[in-house]
Structure 1
Amino acid sequence: MTLPPKPPARVGRVSLWRYLRLFRADILSAQPARLYRAWMAEFRTPFFRSYLCNQPDLVNLVLKGRPDDFPKSDRVREGLTPLLGNSVFVTNGDVWKRQRRIIDPAFEGGRLRHVFPAMLEAGESAVRRLGALADGTPRDIEGEASHAAADVIFRTLFSIPIENEVAARVFEEFRAHQRTQPVVNLAALIPLPRWMPRPHHRATRRTAKVIRGLIRQLTSARMAAVRQGTAPADLATKIITTPDPETGKGFDTEEMVDQVAIFFLAGHETSASALGWALYLLALYPEWQDRVAAEGQAVFGDGAPQFSHMSKLGLTRDVFRETLRLYPPVPMMVREARCPETFRDRSVAPGSQIVLSPWHLHRHERIWDAPDEFKPERYATEAGRQCLREAFIPFSAGQRVCPGAGFAMIEGVLLLAMLVRRYRFDIVPERPAMPVAHLTVRGKDGIWLRITPR
């Protein structure tokens, strides 16, 4: 049986400095094999303690039970500040709660129906774009997935296609930025002493400055349109015009720039990662690819997809879920213990780092049946549904769950169904994919597929 690719795990223990060298090369391949069975693991250095938690009860406690006692670690922002500023991704406490009160209404279930036409336009554009590439030549599908996901974000957020001059420049600059810093950086998972300098890479500062400047142009123009009453009814307008219900004040320009930056990073980079791996998995398992194509044809017919169709794409949704399980775009999340804690009879001091790893939780040998196998049919069973409830956190969970989780599930299922209905994707045996963690989980040397008309 062919198994989806997975980085080789370390066997046994290594020294701290050896671990740091492995970690700098790739977060995923640095992890010990025992973490796929452990409920909890402690990482000690002379300066700090980190605890990786896989036990569902502990994950639930941190994310849902007492989330205010486990705020996002300040170290998370160390590699991301140049681009994200003070966005909702890195803030805590009252600042974060105010930001979510303003942002969340834009992503409520009823609003998704309103942004669906823009998603569909991006999907139709992606189908046309792949038509010119569907000649059987090996292609790196990651680039095409990134293009499609960025198009979705610009159309739903600012009502402009990626071909727009400013949108195209943001996309190109982000491609240069994305490999300069991992979304889970070394200082977050392996916290260095506070006195150690943490200079940002020159390229990181440069590309972040350019991206924020371009986003500022779009944001300032939209705020002016809102004042003039000429703004389209898209996500940017909804967020700009939503006041905090407790204070009556909305975002100013710089606050909005911070939020748009994380919308683009989270909404584009993570969706591109998931779509690329979904297409690769379907190329590895052509029988599932044919079933997805058949479902899309049966549901859409010869017409355009409709929002009402999305609830009928159950098989495609399960394929996308299984992709998020095997290749969660953000492989690890870091929280910080605010109070003294006891986890599994082990004392956890205030300030300790609590690492929650979708990468390990989703492949945990004591939780999932055949954890390294691609089995979308698992979600039709009670055991699979229980795992979804207890051990599936690609978008986090609790009060800090990604506000765009519902958006991402509709986008991913729609794009996957539209592309597979029109094209066949086949693996390139001489260029197998291998996951590594950059900004998100991507292919080490890309994800190469052959595309042909179906």
Structure 2
Amino acid sequence: MTRMPPKPPSRPAKVSLLKYMMLFRADLLSSQPERLYRAWMAEFRTPFFRSYLLNDARLIKTVLKERPDDFPKSGRISEGLRPLLGNSVFLTNGEVWKQQRRIIDPAFEGGRLRDTFPAMRDAGAATVARLQRMADAPVEIEAEASHAAADVIFRTLFSIPIEHEVAGRVFEEFRDYQRSQPILNIGAFLKLPKWMPRFHRRRTKASAKMIRGLIKQLTDERMAEIEAGTAPDDLATKIMTTRDPETGETLSAADMVDQVAIFFLAGHETSASALAWTLYLMAIFPEWQEKVAQEAQVLGECDFKVMKRLKVSRDVFRESLRLYPPVPMMVRESTCPERFRERDIPVGSQMVLSPWHLHRHQRLWDNPDGFDPTRWETENGRQCARDAYMPFSEGPRVCTGAGFAMVEGPLLLSMILKQFRIEAVGPEPVPVAYLTVRSKDGIWLRLTPR
């Protein structure tokens, strides 16, 4: 009998505008009609704007790679995150965004990944030790993956573990923020004038204010260490001391709070989603679990070079990112009249680039809903990897931390499976979209020491 990953959310044949808005606000994955998993392009009209889903590789290339300045990031979805992220690189456009990337990108270059590897490895060891205390009992693995991912972020960014008082408080406050933050902000949906209120929930704003205050404490302390010449050589120091090669400017203290907020959101929330789903897939595909565990025997007092030897783990992680991309959709806005696939695209239209649909597209992938890490060695897999795979986006706005994530994910996966056999317990998880793709009621596993 062929086993499959958890069924995708229900795919309604057709929905009305009102029902779509209600479903979208509750969970955007469940609101997507079946036809979108076969369409090259689809139009969706509302009284406020037009939206176009693009699954055509040529159009995706146009929007993300060839003419990104003509399709800036839309505020309709990201507006809901502004209380936390402020003017971060995730939300900005144009020259402000370009300057931010010129300063931030050097911190995540290949050489810097090698420098951060010991901190990732230490976070992995701490995760294994934490899980050992939970062995042989049901564990909600999304919560533990979140803890591990937050530990990685604080160790690599500020050289402090999650047990540090401020780091721990940021993590706890972020859990409250995540539970209170809807994916859709009504003010942004209507695209109200800037002077009108945005209808952010009171609890959301309070959590965001607390998180930003704690981050400011960390960045102020780091700035003082930089000025005193005692700062550790980590990502925060690198970013705060890098000058824009064109202007000579560095990020201000206020700018740094915005950027650390997105590093924590993107680096913690997305990594936790990816690791949790990968562990679940290993639980229901034990033959792949054993392959990863066997490969993981190369781990020990390892250094960065060991990553070249974790090929199975990397292919498994890539396949998990295909089935459960942490960021299911990205939205750009057209600033020029366009004509795509014989349709006129008005200025101000929302261009939706959806890894969730693209990665499961029925006319592109062999066995699109199935779990098959060997696909990356097939002709279809290699073609789709070029044209239909974008868990970290593409083009100039590709995620700064993509390389970071592709070290962290396979490494933590290998470290965990080297020590534990895992099996699924409880109900089959149902993927839904919160800030990232998570399970509706958690992912429950039992870990048994090997």
Which TM-score tier does this pair reach, normalised by the shorter chain?
over 0.9
User: How much does 1:56 deviate?
Assistant: 1.0
The answer to whether structure 1 residue 432 and structure 2 residue 428 are counterparts is yes
Deviates more, 1:400-409 or 1:5-14: 5-14
Contact 2:158–2:235 at 8 Å: present in 1 too?
yes
Match of 1:46 in 2: 47
1:192 to 185, 190, 193: 190
User: How much does 1:110 deviate?
Assistant: 1.1
Contact 1:296–1:313 at 8 Å: present in 2 too?
yes
Contact 1:44–1:50 at 8 Å: present in 2 too?
yes
CA distance in 1, matches of 2:304, 2:366: 33
User: How much does 1:10 deviate?
Assistant: 3.3
The answer to whether structure 1 residue 68 and structure 2 residue 93 are counterparts is no
Give the TM-score normalised by structure 1: 0.96
Gapped regions of structure 1 (runs ≥ 5): none
The answer to whether structure 1 residue 259 and structure 2 residue 255 are counterparts is no
Deviations 1:195-248 (A, max 9, x none): 686310111001100000000000000001000100000000000000111111
Contact 2:9–2:432 at 8 Å: present in 1 too?
no
Deviations 1:315-347 (A, max 9, x none): 110000000000000000000001000110000
CA distance in 1, matches of 2:95, 2:179: 32
Match of 1:368 in 2: 365
CA distance in 2, matches of 1:179, 1:359: 22
Contact 1:76–1:187 at 8 Å: present in 2 too?
no
User: How much does 1:187 deviate?
Assistant: 5.2
Contact 1:70–1:335 at 8 Å: present in 2 too?
yes
CA distance in 2, matches of 1:426, 1:220: 44
Structure 1 pair 311/396, CA: closer, same or farther in 2 (3 Å)?
Answer: same
The answer to whether structure 1 residue 36 and structure 2 residue 37 are counterparts is yes
Q: Which amino acid aligns with 1:192?
A: L
Contact 1:134–1:452 at 8 Å: present in 2 too?
yes
Match of 1:93 in 2: 94
Match of 1:378 in 2: 375
Structure 1 pair 270/111, CA: closer, same or farther in 2 (3 Å)?
Answer: same
Q: Which amino acid aligns with 2:109?
A: E
Contact 2:79–2:185 at 8 Å: present in 1 too?
no
Match of 1:209 in 2: 209
Q: Which amino acid aligns with 1:267?
A: G
Match of 1:394 in 2: 391
Contact 1:179–1:439 at 8 Å: present in 2 too?
no
User: How much does 1:179 deviate?
Assistant: 2.2
Contact 1:3–1:373 at 8 Å: present in 2 too?
yes
SS at match of 1:269: helix
User: How large is the RMSD of aligned CA atoms in angstroms?
Assistant: 1.3
CA distance in 2, matches of 1:10, 1:432: 18
CA distance in 2, matches of 1:335, 1:212: 27
User: How much does 1:180 deviate?
Assistant: 1.8
CA distance in 1, matches of 2:288, 2:440: 25
SS at match of 2:428: coil
Q: Which amino acid aligns with 2:362?
A: E
1:358 to 350, 355, 360: 355
Match of 2:127 in 1: 126
Match of 2:440 in 1: 444
CA distance in 2, matches of 1:147, 1:372: 29
SS at match of 1:445: coil
CA distance in 2, matches of 1:371, 1:13: 22
Deviations 1:410-430 (A, max 9, x none): 0001000000010011011x3
CA distance in 2, matches of 1:305, 1:6: 37
Contact 1:367–1:387 at 8 Å: present in 2 too?
yes
Deviations 1:17-50 (A, max 9, x none): 1111111221101110110000011001222100
Structure 1 pair 313/5, CA: closer, same or farther in 2 (3 Å)?
Answer: same
Deviates more, 1:444-453 or 1:383-392: 383-392
SS at match of 2:179: coil
CA distance in 1, matches of 2:312, 2:157: 29
Gapped regions of structure 2 (runs ≥ 5): none
User: How much does 1:77 deviate?
Assistant: 2.9
SS at match of 1:305: coil
Match of 2:414 in 1: 417
User: How much does 1:193 deviate?
Assistant: 4.9
Give the TM-score normalised by structure 2: 0.97
User: How much does 1:186 deviate?
Assistant: 5.2
5 Å-filtered alignment, 1:20-35, equals 20-35=21-36
Contact 1:78–1:187 at 8 Å: present in 2 too?
no
CA distance in 2, matches of 1:194, 1:316: 46
